[in-house]
Amino acid sequence: MATLIQQIINGLSLGSVYALIAVGYSLVYSILLFSNFAHGGFLVIGGYFCYGSLRLLGAGIWTAGALALIGAGFAAVLTERLAYRPIRERTNVTLYLLIASMGMNIVIENIFVIIVGGRFRALPPVIPTTPVSVMGLATTSAFDLISLLSAVVFLGALQLFLSKTRWGLAIRAAAYDLRTAGLMGVNVNLLISIVFFVAGFLAAVGGIFLSVRYTLYPQLGAITIKAFVAAVIGGLGSLPGAVIGSLILGLAEMLTAGFISSQMRDLVVFSLLVITLLVKPTGLFGKSVSEKV
């Protein structure tokens, strides 16, 4: 019983980190309708910014974290400006954006391979990992609770931003129809920059927690595949869907690792994806797919 509760907390914690990544990815998808494969790159940028400011600048975790989030946010905006905007302005073929994003992912990954090397790096112990007892039922790591809590805070902030602010309203309008939003006087380029900033920002939060949980290395971004899977399970382009999908995925992964075998966890993830696509391809909260012909 204690193991079960412990694995559920682990799963929720991992799932909440996936949710941070999946929400940013889903947000970009909902506006531009393409899978941004460079999203994993933003996560790695966040991780290395955090590592660099902790090690080289000797900053505290709050400063380092803030630097990492803002740095990754601007890196995401820069990526959009350099690689996606020229394509966006010329054509509306999302395939080109998709391929450019794959290229950007390879570029970002290999910039880090060349600059800092492919070595696995451990972040300094900035986030406590001491064991904590949860209501006397089970023991878990403080890190799991902190990552769960931070995810809730950031996702709540995103929800407030989207529902209460003018730009949030504009983003929701653009998710419905980007062109019409532009015609109604929304500055589309600024809006897309804001969306990418938010996506990079949230990916960096995920990146920091992932590099504490595992280690930091240039290929860490590959883990975003799981966030993509979570976004599809929840329904592409749906933010609540991305969160629920991520939690399901995190739980499934940790329960498999705890009770069956840790080798099977990735297999379970991809089986979940295939089953979702077979049974309900639009995902749990997908928009009704009117484009189905």
Partner 1 sequence: MSGYTEGIIILLCINGIAAMGVSLLTGFTGIFSLGHAAYMALGAYTTAILTVQHEVHWLPAILLGGLLAVAVAFFIGVPTLKLMGDYYAIASIGLGEAIRLILENWQSVTRGARGYPGIDPYTTLPVVAAFFLVLAIFMFNLINSRFGRACKACRDDHVASSLLGFNTARVRVLSLMISAFYCGVAGALLGGFLSFIQPIMFDMLKSTELTAVVVFGGLGSMSGSLLGTAVITLITELFRPISQYRMLIYGAVLVIIMVLRPEGIMGNREFISWVRAPFRRKAS
Binding piece for partner 1, criterion CB under 8 A, among 12-20, 91-99, 145-153, 208-216: 91-99
Name residues contacting partner 1, limited to 21-50 (CB under 8 A). Answer: 29, 33-35
134 Rama sector, left if φ>0, alpha if ψ -120 to 50, beta otherwise:
beta
| 16 near partner 1, rule: CB under 8 A | no
Binding piece for partner 1, criterion CB under 8 A, among 124-132, 135-143, 147-155, 260-268: 260-268
| 288 near partner 1, rule: CB under 8 A | no
CA 11, CA 144: separation in Å to the nearest integer?
9
Answer for which of 6, 10, 105, 238 binds partner 1 (CB under 8 A) is 105
Q: Report DSSP letters for 15-52, one per residue.
A: HHHHHHHHHHHHHHHHHH-S--TTHHHHHHHHHHHHHH
CA 127, CA 142: separation in Å to the nearest integer?
8
CA 249, CA 231: separation in Å to the nearest integer?
10
Beta carbon of residue 225, minimum distance to partner 1 (angstroms, whole number)? 6
Beta carbon of residue 230, minimum distance to partner 1 (angstroms, whole number)? 11
CA 159, CA 78: separation in Å to the nearest integer?
24
Residue with tokens 């394509």: 87
| 114 near partner 1, rule: CB under 8 A | yes
Beta carbon of residue 24, minimum distance to partner 1 (angstroms, whole number)? 16
Answer for which of 66, 70, 98, 138 binds partner 1 (CB under 8 A) is 98
Specify the residue, 82 or 122, whose C-beta has the smaller distance to partner 1. 82
